[in-house]
C-alpha cells in the first residue's frame, strides 16, 4: 500500500512549458517563463495557467458548482469525484420515480460532464481512497459538495425494532441506491406511520398508496414494484410535532396527495380552528398551502369528489401536535406494533414556534414506522472542520473556516433544506466566491497536477475510477433493460454487476 500522503512530490518537478500563443486554449499545468526564457517562479495568472479545481460529490450541488465554474472561467478544469459508481446523487436516488420532470436536470448535468474541461471520477471514496489534504495538494481549490448521506435518528426506545426504518433508506430502496437494495420492507400490515411532515414524508406516503400499475412505467426498481404489488397497507398517517401552519411540505406535493387515485384524505377540522384569521399575515406560498389544507379539512367535497372518495380503498391522514416517544413492540417483542405519541401544544410565535408536551399520551397501532425527521451530513475527513450539532461544515459564504482553498456548497454548506433550485443558487454563490478568490490571488500559485497525480495515487492503492463514458455504457444498459417493460430504464443495483458490465 502506498503511503497516504505524497508531499515528497515537489510541484517544481512538474514540466513547465511555454505560454500558449495568443488566442489559443491554454493547456493544463503550464507556468510562465522567467525573463531569460527559463522557468521562473510561478505566479498564478488566469490567462497563462489552467486553474485545477476539484469538486467532491456529483449531486446537484456538485454539478451546479462545476457548471458555474466552467461557464465563468473559460480556462478552468474541473474534476468531480463521486463515491458511487454512477453520477447525479439525489436526482437519481432521491427524486420520486413519479416525478420524471424533476430529473430532466440530468440532461444539463450530462452536458457539463461531457465538457472537455470537466471529468467525472466515480467509485472514489474521498476520506478513504484519497484524503482531502491530498486533493488540496493536487488542486488549486477543492469544493466539498457531498450532501447529506445520513438520517436524523429518532432517539426513542424501540427505534431498533424490525418494522422501523428511515424514510431515507426507504427512498433509497425504491430508487435503486445500492446500499439499500436489500432493505425489503415488510408491507404486510394495515397501517403505516411516517414521522415528519416534509416533502420526503409525502413522497413516501404517495409511493406506499399509489396503485402499483401507476408506477409501472416509471424508473422505480422492479424489485420495489414487486414488493409494493403485494402491499397490504391501507392507511398512512403522517405525523408532525407542530400544527398546520408549520408543515414543511409544499403545495405541489399536497395536491398530489389529495388527488391520489383510490385514496381519501383524513383531516381533523378541530386542528384548523381559528386558522382562517391567522393566515392573513403569512407569506403567500404558506397562505396558499394552508388554505388548501383548510378547504380539504373543513369543506364538504363536491358530488364528483365525494363519489371518488366513497370508492377509495386506501386513506392517508395528517396528525398534528404529536411527538414520538416510543415505538411499541408486538406481544412477542419481535417487531414494531405501534407508536406512542405525546400530545403537544405550541408556544412562541412565527419561526420560533415550538411544540411542548401537554402531558397527554396517545398510542397509534401500526406495523411500519418510517422516520422522516431530516437528513444530516457526515464529516468527510479529519482535516476538515465539522459542526456535529448543525451537521454542516463551518463556512463563510462557502469558504471553509480556517482552511484556505477549501470550499463547500449544497446541503453540507447550509444544512438539508430547500429544493433543487435552492441548491443551484447556493452552489452558484460558492463558485462565485471561489472565482473571486482566484482573481484576487488568494489561491495557491503555480501549476497543480490535478487528476494526473490523483489517478496515479488511486492506482497505487488499487482504486480504479469510473469515467463518465463508463457511466454512459451503464446508462445505455439500463435504458435497454427498461425498454421491454415500457420503462425509461431499469436501474442497475449491484456495483459488482456494474463493474462486470464494464469488463472490470
200 Cβ contact list (under 8 Å, min separation 6) = 167, 168, 171, 372
- Report the alpha-carbon distance of residue 297 to residue 61 in Å, rounded: 38
Q: Where are the alpha helices (DSSP H) in 299-338?
A: 303-311
Note if 99 is an active site residue.
yes
Whether the Cβ atoms of residue 236 and residue 208 lie closer than 8 Å to each other: yes
Note if 421 is an active site residue.
yes
Whether the Cβ atoms of residue 60 and residue 420 lie closer than 8 Å to each other: yes
Phi and psi torsions of 316, nearest 5°: -135, 150
Looking up cell 443495483 gives: 493
Whether the Cβ atoms of residue 375 and residue 203 lie closer than 8 Å to each other: no
Q: Where are the alpha helices (DSSP H) in 400-503?
A: 411-414, 420-439, 451-460, 468-483, 495-501
Cell, residue 4 = 497516504
Note if 203 is an active site residue.
yes
Active-site position among 251, 258, 420, 422: 420
Angle (CA) 258 264 270, round 5°: 85
Active-site position among 25, 108, 358, 421: 421
Q: What would you measure as the largest C-alpha separation in the chain, in angstroms? A: 89
Active-site position among 203, 219, 426, 470: 203
299 Cβ contact list (under 8 Å, min separation 6) = none
40, containing H or E segment: none
Number of H helices, E strands in the chain: 16, 18
- Report the alpha-carbon distance of residue 257 to residue 210 in Å, rounded: 9
- Report the alpha-carbon distance of residue 224 to residue 214 in Å, rounded: 14
Active-site position among 99, 381, 387, 417: 99
Specify which residues 121 forms β-bridges with.
81
Note if 402 is an active site residue.
no
Whether the Cβ atoms of residue 448 and residue 84 lie closer than 8 Å to each other: no
Among 82, 76, 40, which residue's Cα sits nearest to residue 61?
82
Catalytic residues: 99, 203, 420-421
Amino acid at each position: 500500500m502506498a503511503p497516504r500522503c505524497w508531499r515528497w512530490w515537489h510541484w517544481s518537478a512538474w514540466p513547465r512549458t511555454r505560454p500558449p500563443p495568443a488566442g489559443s486554449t491554454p493547456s493544463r499545468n503550464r507556468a510562465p517563463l522567467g525573463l531569460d526564457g527559463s522557468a521562473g517562479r510561478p505566479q498564478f495568472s488566469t490567462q497563462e495557467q489552467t486553474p485545477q479545481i476539484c469538486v467532491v460529490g456529483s449531486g446537484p450541488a456538485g454539478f451546479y458548482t462545476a457548471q458555474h465554474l466552467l461557464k465563468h472561467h473559460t480556462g478552468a478544469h474541473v474534476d468531480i469525484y463521486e463515491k458511487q459508481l454512477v453520477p447525479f446523487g439525489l436526482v437519481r436516488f432521491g427524486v420520486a420515480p413519479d416525478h420524471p420532470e424533476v430529473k430532466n436536470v440530468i440532461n444539463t448535468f450530462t452536458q457539463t460532464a461531457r465538457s472537455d474541461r470537466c471529468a467525472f471520477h466515480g467509485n472514489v471514496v474521498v476520506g478513504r481512497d484519497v484524503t482531502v489534504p491530498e486533493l488540496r495538494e493536487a488542486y488549486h481549490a477543492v469544493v466539498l459538495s457531498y450532501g447529506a448521506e445520513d438520517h436524523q435518528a429518532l432517539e426513542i426506545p424501540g427505534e431498533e425494532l424490525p418494522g422501523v426504518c428511515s424514510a431515507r433508506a426507504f427512498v433509497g430502496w425504491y430508487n435503486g441506491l445500492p446500499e439499500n437494495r436489500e432493505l425489503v420492507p415488510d408491507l404486510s400490515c394495515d397501517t403505516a406511520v411516517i414521522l415528519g411532515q416534509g416533502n420526503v414524508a409525502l413522497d413516501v406516503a404517495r409511493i406506499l398508496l399509489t396503485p402499483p400499475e401507476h408506477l409501472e412505467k416509471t424508473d422505480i426498481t422492479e424489485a420495489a414494484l414487486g414488493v409494493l404489488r403485494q402491499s397490504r397497507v391501507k392507511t398512512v398517517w403522517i405525523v408532525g410535532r407542530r400544527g398546520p401552519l408549520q408543515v414543511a411540505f409544499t403545495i405541489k406535493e399536497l395536491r398530489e396527495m389529495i388527488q391520489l387515485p383510490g385514496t381519501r384524505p383524513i383531516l381533523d377540522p378541530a386542528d384548523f380552528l381559528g386558522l382562517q384569521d391567522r393566515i392573513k399575515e403569512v407569506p403567500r406560498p404558506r397562505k396558499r398551502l394552508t388554505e388548501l389544507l383548510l378547504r380539504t379539512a373543513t369543506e364538504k367535497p363536491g358530488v364528483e369528489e365525494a363519489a371518488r372518495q366513497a370508492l377509495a380503498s386506501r386513506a392517508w391522514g395528517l396528525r398534528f401536535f404529536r411527538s414520538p416517544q416510543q415505538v411499541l413492540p408486538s406481544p412477542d417483542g419481535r417487531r414494531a406494533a405501534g407508536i406512542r405519541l405525546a400530545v403537544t401544544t405550541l408556544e412562541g410565535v412565527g419561526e420560533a414556534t415550538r411544540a411542548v408536551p401537554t402531558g397527554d399520551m396517545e398510542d397509534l397501532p401500526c406495523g411500519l414506522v418510517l422516520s422522516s425527521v431530516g437528513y444530516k451530513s457526515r464529516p468527510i475527513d479529519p482535516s476538515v472542520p465539522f459542526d456535529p450539532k448543525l451537521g454542516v461544515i463551518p463556512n463563510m459564504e462557502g469558504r471553509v473556516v480556517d482552511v484556505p482553498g477549501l470550499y463547500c456548497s449544497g446541503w453540507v454548506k447550509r444544512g438539508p433544506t430547500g429544493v433543487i433550485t435552492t441548491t443551484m443558487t447556493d452552489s452558484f454563490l460558492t463558485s462565485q466566491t471561489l472565482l473571486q478568490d482566484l482573481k484576487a490571488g488568494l489561491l495557491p500559485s503555480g501549476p497543480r497536477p490535478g487528476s494526473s497525480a490523483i489517478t496515479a495515487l488511486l492506482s497505487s492503492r488499487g482504486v480504479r475510477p469510473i469515467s463518465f463514458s463508463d457511466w454512459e455504457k451503464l446508462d445505455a444498459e439500463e435504458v435497454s433493460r427498461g425498454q421491454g417493460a415500457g420503462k425509461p430504464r431499469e436501474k442497475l443495483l449491484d456495483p459488482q454487476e456494474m463493474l462486470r458490465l464494464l469488463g472490470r
